[in-house]
Amino acid sequence: MSFIAIIPARLKSTRLPNKPLADIAGKPMVVRVIEQALKSDAEMVVVATDDMAVQDAVVAADYACMLTRADHPSGTDRLAEMVDRMALSDDAIVVNVQGDEPLIDPALINAVAAQLVANPALAMATASHSIDNAEDFFNPNVVKVVCNAAAEAMYFSRAPIPWDRDSFADDNSDEDWVLPAELDAQRHIGIYAYRAGFLRAYAQLAASKLEDIEMLEQLRVLWHGYKIGVYRAAQAPAAGVDTPEDLARVRAVFAQA
């Protein structure tokens, strides 16, 4: 299996300023992410950033980094620039590893890439895991995905889907609801693999109304008729770093290693 891992990293974060450079056991967070990605089967790991400070930190650790434009509206658009800058062939597979996940499982990176290797009809792949409690199911910050029989995404939503009409027919508060075992609700995991050719096409796709309503970028892909494969992970991945509290938790994990 051949694929490239690209790590988009931006300094601008409202909840945790200078996040990629946050120290974790003596190394910047972005370097910790690189180290995890290098444990996967990726033939190359490269950081894509629009900030010289991030590039300096990555290069100082002797890893690969490329400066991109600063005006990209999303990480996917940044990857689209990268595939052109790197002159990747259209059938090359690129995995987007988030720059704020220093505990990401290398096996998850491999599994998402493998979806594209196994199914040439897929333009893109991602992952999910089972939701086993009502609090997460009804939480709009937890993105849900519903798949077809071929493990391809039918829809992503912040709403509780699929909706069990009979089980949820009463008027009780959602705090009292217990998820039916047969519901098989799936939480979306924010890791993506793409074919380089699709990334080039994505940069030209118009945003969809559903994407704007749900604030979910992947709905643009479904809106335009592309297929997204979904790998079902056995368990939830380690959480990323969005807040100072998250950073403290990750630092504690590395301190115990």
Distance of CA 202 to the CA centre of its chain: 16
Residues making up the chain, counted from first to last:
257
Q: What is the CATH number of domain 4-128+188-256?
A: 3.90.550.10
Distance of CA 212 to the CA centre of its chain: 18
Coil vs helix vs strand at 248: helix
| 98-136 pLDDT per residue, tens | 999 999 999 999 999 999 999 999 999 999 999 989 999
Task: Report pLDDT for 11.
Answer: 80
Nearest to 203, CA basis, from 112, 98, 68: 68
Q: Say which residues have a Cβ less than 8 Å from residue 203's Cβ, sequence separation at least 6.
A: 77, 80, 81
The ranges assigned to domains in the chain are 4-128+188-256
- Give the separation between CA 32 and CA 74, rounded to whole angstroms: 22
| 39-77 pLDDT per residue, tens | 999 999 999 999 999 999 999 999 999 999 888 777 788
pTM strictly above 0.85: yes
